Amino acid sequence: MDNRRVLVTGAGGFIGHHLVKFLKAKGHWVRGVDIKSPEYEASEADEFQLLDLRDARACRIAASGVQDVYHLAADMGGIGYITASHAGIVLNNTKINIHMMDASRDQGVERFLFSSSACIYPQYLQLQPDVTPLKEDDAFPADPEAGYGLEKLYMEKICQYVTEDYGFETRVVRFHNVYGPLGTYDGGREKAPAAICRKVALSQDGGEIEIWGDGQQTRSFMHVDDCVEGISRIMESGYDKPLNLGTDELISVDGLVDLVSEIAGKRLTKRHDLSRPQGVRGRNSDNSRLREILGWEPSILLAEGLVPTFHWIAGELEAHQPLPIRAVAAE
């Protein structure tokens, strides 16, 4: 792979920040752009610009002089956030995506990678915890997650059309739930792995933990190191149709809680709250096409990847607020 001049949008966010580090380590020149700086450590980008990519002019500045665009900027979060904010998400992400696409073409960018989501898949295929893994061709007839998923699916089609009509090189990557250190763990946008790590870290051994839903809903979770490796491989692959990027290690939410509790060395009682957002009943990634195209797939087991994730979140919490005081035996 030759050294390239690249732009990572969303470089102040979770995956974008890790991707900047990965691409820098590969020897590329990297510009990071975001509306905010990374929260937990400084960016390693050669150049970091604070820009609001809803604005077309900002997108042209961001895309000037680069060969590759890794477009990750988005108004996004876990199921609590994307369920509560349909209008804001589609309005923001539509502007960001259309303007970034136009600017990339105008500025002579050679390759454009769009970070899509498993939320584009039809809800009617995700009604059971023992879900059949989702294949790329399952996307239509469409019935995506409201708001966020619908907008992602629309942008996927835009990528397809600009490739067909203008010969502009695109990649479309459907991420399945990504976790790891340096990811949002509080504030409302956090996804289940980080939220559960936070709740377990803040619980007393022998105490109770609140879980959204009945705990039987299932997902597959991908470590961010696999995610950035996969993004890079897909960019290099030349494959311009949508590809899943996730693991096919299906686990229930209760199973996830048990793994985290074990890492923390705590015995906790689960209190299931059925009034909280649950999203689809089951979701898993079919990696047949990914394996066929890349000869590779994510391989970090959840039980392994959660260890550094839990310890990073527990460390952050300890640094910013007191953890529960351990009971001390009376003298």
Q: At what angle do helices 302-320 and 192-202 cross, to 10 degrees?
A: 50
Tokens, residue 154? 């629309």
Catalytic entry in 70, 81, 121, 148: 148
Q: Is 149 in the site for ligand NAD (CB under 6 A)?
A: no
Query: Could you give the CA distance from residue 328 to residue 96 in angstroms, rounded to a whole number?
Result: 53
Q: Considering beta carbons, is residue 35 or 211 the nearer one to ligand NAD?
A: 35
Nearer to ligand NAD, 22 or 175 (CB): 175
Q: How far is the first Cα of the chain from the last one, in angstroms, to the nearest whole number?
A: 66
State the binding partner of 12 from ligand NAD, ligand GDD, none, CB within 5 to 8 A by kind.
ligand NAD
Q: Which residues bind ligand GDD (CB under 6 A)?
A: 76, 78-80, 82, 117-119, 148, 175-177, 190-192, 195, 211-213, 217, 219, 253, 276-279
Binding to ligand NAD by residue 13, rule CB under 6 A?
Answer: yes
* H or E segment and range at residue 92: helix 86-106
Q: Which member of 96, 159, 196, 294 binds ligand NAD (CB under 6 A)?
A: 96
Three-state SS at 159:
helix
φ, ψ dihedrals at 122, nearest 5°: -60, 135
Chain residue whose CB lies nearest ligand GDD: 78
Is residue 75 within 8 Å of residue 88, measured between CB atoms? yes
Residue 38, preceding bond cis, omega within 30 degrees? no
Q: d(Cα 295, Cα 189) in Å, to the nearest integer?
A: 33
Three-class secondary structure of residue 115 per DSSP: strand
* SS3 (DSSP) at 223: strand
Options 70-78, 83-91, 129-137, 279-287: segment touching ligand NAD (CB under 6 A):
70-78
Q: Answer yes or no whether residue 72 interacts with ligand NAD by CB under 6 A.
A: yes
CB of 77: closest distance to ligand GDD in angstroms? 6
Residue 39 or 186: the one with the smaller Cβ distance to ligand GDD is 186
* Residue 253 binds which of ligand GDD, ligand NAD, none (CB < 5-8 A, kind-dependent): ligand GDD
Q: Is 148 a catalytic residue?
A: yes
Q: Does 12 engage in binding with ligand NAD (CB under 6 A)?
A: yes
- With beta carbons less than 8 A apart as the criterion, state whether 234 and 191 touch: no
- Cβ-based nearer residue to ligand GDD, 28 or 219: 219
Q: Looking at beta carbons, which residue is closest to ligand NAD? A: 13
DSSP H/E element including 51: none
CA distance 122 to 138: 7
- Give which of 138, 308, 149, 152 is closest to 224, Cα–Cα: 308
Report the 10 Å Cβ neighbour count for 293: 15
- Considering CB distances under 5 to 8 angstroms, the limit depending on partner class, which of ligand NAD, ligand GDD, none binds residue 211? ligand GDD
Position 74 contacts ligand NAD (CB under 6 A): yes
Could you say which of ligand GDD, ligand NAD, none residue 279 binds, taking C-beta under 5 to 8 angstroms by partner kind?
A: ligand GDD
Instruction: Point out the residues that are catalytic.
Output: 148
Binding site for ligand NAD (CB under 6 A): 10, 12-16, 34-36, 52-54, 72-76, 92, 96, 115, 117, 175, 177-178, 184, 191
